Structure 1
Amino acid sequence: MIFLRYESFQGYLRMYPVTSAILLLNILAYAADHLLLDGRLLNWGLFYSSPGDNYFSLEEPWRYVTAIFLHLSLSHIFYNLFSILVFAPPLERMLGHWKYAAFFLLSGIVGNLVSVIANPTTAGAGASGAIYGVFGAYLFLALMKRSLDPNSRKTVYTILIFGVIYTLIVPNIGIWAHFGGLLAGFALAYAYDWYLIARRDRSYRR
């Protein structure tokens, strides 16, 4: 079962430094914005589409990245932090620290882009797109890789069912960011698996 955690706090920090850094950045950004900056950090970093934008060449493109680490409310950040804390570590272990960091950021960026393209008047923030990218990678493993144990496969399907229900019933949720992140995570996992298979086949032919 890949989602069970047995590490101590220190062990978690040592084994999953990227996940730990993501958690810390989100907590610090939320605390600073709500306790010290009166929402100015959120206004600076959330993503949005202004009139005339063609989505891929925004005047302030950093927003697609900074929005991943900003949250609108306490319940918003709590759900996302819990999801990262519990579900991200196995993927960091599978991919390695730097590949996982790139995967998390790319999933979040794609989720934000899809959200803006699907709804040009939208504005939003949060790590949900990146989190659903993690879920997308697990969906790929559950559907395409027999090496995933049955309990982990059932857990993946349960997570996704809950995620769909949560996305549909909670008001003011970034539905398209969730969908975009999920699609990005699945596609990235597929591409990385294809790369590993191709590299292995080349090594056999030598």
Structure 2
Amino acid sequence: MIFIRYENWKDYLKYFPLTSILLIANVVMFIVLTFNGGSTNNMVLLKFGALTNYELFAQDWWRYVTSMFLHAGFGHLLFNSFALIVFAPPMERLLGSLRYGVLYLGGGVVGNILAVAWYNSIDKITISVGASGAIYAVYGAFLYVALFQRNIMDETSRKTMYTLLLFGIIFSFAVSNINWMAHLGGLLGGFFIYGLIIRLWKPRIFRK
């Protein structure tokens, strides 16, 4: 079962360096927000890089990346940190840290782009933060593995993946103030980015 973590903290840092850096970055930025007016204050979030389609900030392309490292409230940070700690490491080991970073950031950006496009289409202002779009990109990559590379994922892990996605989709639509399009966009982005990576930029494990 690839989603059970057995490592101590030293081994975790050694084997999953980029996941560890992402976690630390999220925590550090949460502390920064907390000491600069609060992580649930929209003005503070905008100041530090939240994504929005509000006209004044709509051209700030860098927000598509920086918003992934901001979280609105401790519960938001805790939920995404748990998902990152538990579910992301096997993908870092499978792809290697560099490719995994491209998947994580690329999928997160795709999710954010689609989210902004959606809110623009319904003429609604949004302020969006969180790593969940990038985390769903990792889920999307695992979905690709579960469907097309069944030999590298055991049956228990595959069932866990399907269950996780089912509950994730339900949660995304059932809970208010959830940017469901960022989740769906991240999932789709991760699925296709992973497929491109293993074809155009093959990790050593896939080379013949």
Does the alignment reach a TM-score above 0.5? yes
Give 5+ residue unaligned stretches, structure 2.
none
Query: Match of 2:159, as an amino acid?
Result: K
In 2, Cα distance between the equivalents of 1:134 and 1:94? 12
TM-score, scaled to structure 1? 0.89
In 2, Cα distance between the equivalents of 1:190 and 1:61? 26
Q: 1:191 aligns with which of 190, 193, 196?
A: 196
Deviation at 1:48, TM superposition (A): 0.9
Q: 2:46 aligns with which of 43, 46, 56?
A: 43
Runs of 4+ in 1 over 4 A off after TM superposition: none
Query: Match of 1:47, as an amino acid?
Result: L
Query: Match of 1:111, as an amino acid?
Result: G
Give 5+ residue unaligned stretches, structure 1.
none
Query: Match of 1:139, as an amino acid?
Result: L
Task: Give the total of aligned pairs.
Answer: 197
1:138-187 deviation digits (Å, cap 9, x = unpaired): 11111111212111110110110110121122110011000100000000
Match of 1:79 in 2: 79
In 2, Cα distance between the equivalents of 1:29 and 1:87? 22
Aligned partners of 1:115 and 1:122 also within 8 Å: no
Within 5 A, what are the aligned runs for 1:1-206?
1-34=1-34, 36-39=35-38, 41-44=44-47, 45-51=49-55, 58-120=58-120, 121-147=125-151, 148-195=153-200
Query: Match of 2:174, as an amino acid?
Result: I
Query: What is the SS of the residue equivalent to 1:64?
Result: helix
TM-score, scaled to structure 2? 0.88
Deviation at 1:51, TM superposition (A): 3.5
What is the percent sequence identity of the aligned residues? 41
In 1, Cα distance between the equivalents of 2:4 and 2:55? 47
In 2, Cα distance between the equivalents of 1:102 and 1:194? 14
